[in-house]
Amino acid sequence: MSDYIKDKKIEDINIGIIGFGYIASCVYSLIREQRDYLAKKIKKNINIARIAEKDLKKIDSSSLAGLKDIKISSSASDVLQDESIDIVVELVGGIDPAYDYVHEALSSGKYVVTANKDLLANKGGDLFAAAEKNNVDLLFEASVGGGIPIIGPLKSSLASNNINEIIGIVNGTTNYILTRMEKDNLSFDEALKKAQELGYAEKSNPSSDIEGYDSACKLAILSSIAFNSRVTLKDVYKEGITGVSSDDIRNALDMGYRIKLLAIGIEENSEISVRVHPALIPADHILASIEDTFNAVYVYGNYVGEMMSYGRGAGDRPTASSVVGDIVKIARNFDRNKKGIIYGCSCFENKKFKSIDDTVSKFYILMDVVDKPGVLARIAEVFGKNSVSIESMVQKQRDKKKSAGLIFITHEVVNKNLSKSIKDISELDVVNEVLSVIRVEDLS
């Protein structure tokens, strides 16, 4: 025990952790290693008093010093019903039973810290209502961007700004896959396998990452805060990266673009558009330089202008850093007899959502066509009938005989018009296959 703690006899803030996987074990180690340092900073002792883990085999007291001094059990109720616990740290993940744990903790007047993006993106409204009713708070910095500070700044430092746009690369797995496809000339399947071997993607079911679910949850959370209106997972349009080919990567580079999986939230005229999809972005834009497992979130505010948060978006140490950061926010001014809300829910409006069909984008289109005169004219006729204007077109010879590859970049077009064009073009007898349709974001 440090001299500071001995001399000052400062107050203990008791922590109960539910779920003890690799993130929680890192949270434990961080608090233990930095205990004296944090006590000097906030004039409080952060004291882990209880741990609940359904699978007790995960808790190895021989490898984590000090665990034998902590009350450990397999029941979350032991944490939730312990009146001495001030802050519950939920690291179970998923919605069930995490929702019940968090709701019970808030309802009993305990503060909660979580890294659970699925829970916040689906059930956040109910949980914030429970927190407000009991004059406590739910903090969740680690739910988006791992160790990158973005939730706190949106709720505090940028609170005076009207935020009208958020653009981010918020999934390290997909960013790694796209980077390796480009740098190592790998196919999607080859890059995915490499990500799985390194532990960046789940081996059994990587769909949450590669199909855009993970990014959509994070975008729902960020947009709810930025636009002051509840955005849930079901409100977010999402496409994954499984359809991105090596040809798309090379074609994009040839045209001065790189392909990234973007999470985009825009508010315009009190209407919200939220979408996750791969996009061609200019190679000289700062977001195009974000590689491998790194994340970045771009925010546009009416006073601050544009700003970007950047760092490692996943991993036990960055995530644990954000979890403990939230614990510190609560502990710094903690008063057991007079609790209060730190940030609270910022969703005080109820804005409409714009359908993906009505949004406007530029598009990259790659198609395989019969190599003979008149093909381009027939395709152009379909585009024209559907009010799609072409910015540029490149023809590339395909490997197959009598086959050509056509690459189009459209001007901005209403999405439903583009979709109708692609459907009609796919039915032409001179078109073998529409291989790729990917949005283009010029990102001024």
Residues serving a catalytic function are 218
Q: Map residue 227 onto helix, strand or coil.
A: helix
CB 264 within 8 A of CB 223: no
When computed from its CA atoms, the radius of gyration of the chain, rounded to whole angstroms, is 25
For 198, phi and psi rounded to 5 degrees?
Answer: -90, 0
Bridge partners of residue 93, in order along the sequence: none
Distance CA 78, CA 81 (A): 6
Kindly state the tokens that stand for 206: 């990587």
CB 149 within 8 A of CB 141: yes
Bridge partners of residue 268, in order along the sequence: 271
For the stretch 88-119, what's the b/e string if a residue is b when 16 or more beta carbons lie within 10 angstroms of its beta carbon?
A: bbbbbeeeeebbebbbbbbebebbbbbbbbbb
CB 186 within 8 A of CB 247: no
